[in-house]
């Protein structure tokens, strides 16, 4: 361990090999970010305003929209600022905040997808007991648990990484602070922090993914026992949007944290997909493939236009 005489600070190096593309990247990322905010806010307000959507499935969808608003906001504003020529420097506290909220919100969303899979399992495999299994009290308890679990996860990881000493100016080879790019800058042995942090991320990710697979294995088995083709089609349609979102969410996470080797350029591209692109796609996935949401959305937009016209 070395003595630190200067205040630690970090410089975000951004996406590798993107020199000269700053304006184009800013326009692209700003469009995605704006669409993410407006799309997810619209989904949230639609679920809130439409009484026919006050069911457990849409309650969790509204929660997912909230997370998809906050999740890209961890890294996108700072990235767009330095793409416009602003400072790339981040204080130790700012870097710690980025890492905490990234893992807090990411873990919470991971838990939320697991809860949504359980909700679909209860609806399809136990339809007669569904209202009892997913009562308002149970839904509220599951939602609070996802928040608390994500907060605990983010707090543990942040404490592990930022109790280590940092000194001077460190170059973060990414567009935001995350464990793989921050830990190598520590002025101490990081073996314990690396082992515990990556084990914790892997355990949470793989455990949730296994529970989701278990739920959907039971769902598929139950759907195949439905005698009518129309019944099977309707059952599959209620799960398809959730399955697409799961693949878009877990794919980048597993590529980043479960790969044996790391590539700065590939990691940055995957993080762009995970942080910016995927949250903007969820509103499209859940509206284009869901008649109830489309009808409710049309009613809400009609009311807004009518009120603004008055």
Hey, what domains does the chain have and what are their CATH numbers?
9-309 (1.20.1070.10)
249-293 residue pLDDT tens: 777 777 766 665 666 677 777 888 888 888 888 888 877 667 777
117-151 residue pLDDT tens: 999 899 888 888 999 999 999 999 999 999 999 99
188-227 residue pLDDT tens: 888 888 888 888 888 888 888 899 989 888 888 888 877 7
* 287 and 43 Cβ atoms separated by less than 8 Å: yes
* C-alpha distance from residue 78 to each of 73, 75, 233 (Å): 9, 6, 44
Task: Output the pTM of the full model.
Answer: 0.87
* 270 and 15 Cβ atoms separated by less than 8 Å: no
Distance CA 101, CA 107 (A): 10
Distance CA 5, CA 152 (A): 32
């Amino acid at each position: 361990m070395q003595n630190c005489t200067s205040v630690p600070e970090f410089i975000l190096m951004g996406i590798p090999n993107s020199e000269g593309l700053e304006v184009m990247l800013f326009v692209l990322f700003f469009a995605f970010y704006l669409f993410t905010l407006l799309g997810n806010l619209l989904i949230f307000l639609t679920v809130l305003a439409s009484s026919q959507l006050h069911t457990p499935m849409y309650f969790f969808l509204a929660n997912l929209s909230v997370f998809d608003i906050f999740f890209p906001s961890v890294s996108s504003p700072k990235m767009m600022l330095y793409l416009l020529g602003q400072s790339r420097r981040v204080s130790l506290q700012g870097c710690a905040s980025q890492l905490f909220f990234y893992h807090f919100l990411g873990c919470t969303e991971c838990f939320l997808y697991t809860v949504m899979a359980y909700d679909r399992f209860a609806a399809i495999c136990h339809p007669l007991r569904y209202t009892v299994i997913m009562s308002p009290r149970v839904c509220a308890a599951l939602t609070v648990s996802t928040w608390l679990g994500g907060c605990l996860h983010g707090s543990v990881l942040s404490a592990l990484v930022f109790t280590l000493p940092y000194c001077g100016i460190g170059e973060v080879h990414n567009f935001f602070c995350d464990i793989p790019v921050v830990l190598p800058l520590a002025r101490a042995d990081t073996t314990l922090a690396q082992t515990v942090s990556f084990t914790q991320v892997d355990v949470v990710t793989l455990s949730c993914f296994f529970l989701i697979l278990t739920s959907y294995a039971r769902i598929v088995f139950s759907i195949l026992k439905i005698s009518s083709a129309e019944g099977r089609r309707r059952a599959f349609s209620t799960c398809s949007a959730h399955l697409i979102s799961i693949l878009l969410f877990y794919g980048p996470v597993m590529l980043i944290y479960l790969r044996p080797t790391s590539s700065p350029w590939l990691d940055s591209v995957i993080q762009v997909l995970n942080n910016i692109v995927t949250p903007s796609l969820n509103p499209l996935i859940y509206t284009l493939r869901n008649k109830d949401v489309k009808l409710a959305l049309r009613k809400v937009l009609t009311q807004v236009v009518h009120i603004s016209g008055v």
